[in-house]
Amino acid sequence: MKFGVVVFPGSNCDQDCAFAVHSVLEADVRMIWHKETSLEGVDLLIIPGGFSFGDYLRTGAIARFSPIMDSVRKFARSGGLIIGICNGFQILVEARLLPGALLRNRSLRFVCRDVMIRVENTDSPFTSLYRKGELLRMPVAHAEGNYYCDEKTLKELKDNQQIIFRYAPGDNPNGSLDDIAGICNLERNVLGLMPHPDRSSEALLGSDHGKRIFKSMIDHVSAKLEAGSSKEKNKILL
């Protein structure tokens, strides 16, 4: 089982993600420079937080044109699991792998603190180890985390149960529409969220509530690999 962590100029949470994967979950990890063009050998993909390309133009707007992004799109279309955290969420939105937009925080200030988020949907490869309605403590650190979409898109997100995390009542740090903290695509294999599960993967950090996101991803891919292996064995026997 191997995670890939895409690194852009200005990424600053790539090592946080790598540590959570390698040292906490004891899984293999490959650091992928944005100029690479292949995701060969990668089973799960993380787009980490930071300030890719200095957040010039718009957050994530330049990163979407990096050479690796063509492979990221193909990986998504093939059903590969992708999680975009903070700036990674912004990049996935700019790349049109997730709907909507991330705007400036309502306060127009950078926000860096712990927040409480609520698990809205456990029917996803990212949240299978949580309980619906469970409250999680995770840190945020962003200036443009204010999620926005039009009414039609919001209705689709609700109807298709694509809203995976919401900020707990009274704890919305950025003015995000409908308290949205994280969403997935229609196929449920791409997740974007503003809070940092990578920075909440060990109790020593103040919370290990984010650890189960990565563990859920591992369990999902492991089950798929085992199912594929069983089918191959059955073919041989037949």
Q: What percent of the chain has pLDDT over 70?
A: 95
> In this predicted structure, what is the pLDDT of residue 1?
87
Model confidence over 198-232: pLDDT tens digits? Answer: 999 999 999 999 999 999 999 999 998 888 765 65
> In this predicted structure, what is the pLDDT of residue 14?
98
Which pTM value belongs to this model? Answer: 0.95
Question: Which of 4, 62, 3 is CA-nearest to residue 33?
Answer: 4
Q: How far apart are the first and last CA of the chain?
A: 29
User: What is the distance of C-alpha 23 from the center of its chain?
Assistant: 19
Q: Where are the domains of the chain?
A: 2-237
> In this predicted structure, what is the pLDDT of residue 230?
58
Strands 163-167 vs 111-119: parallel, antiparallel or unpaired: antiparallel
Residue 185 sits at φ, ψ, to 5 deg, of -80, 175
Distance CA 210, CA 26 (A): 15
Q: What is the mean pLDDT of the chain?
A: 95
> Mean of the pLDDT values across residues 39-53?
97
Do residues 38 and 13 touch, judged by C-beta distance below 8 A? Answer: no
CATH superfamily, domain at 2-237:
Class I glutamine amidotransferase (GATase) domain (3.40.50.880)
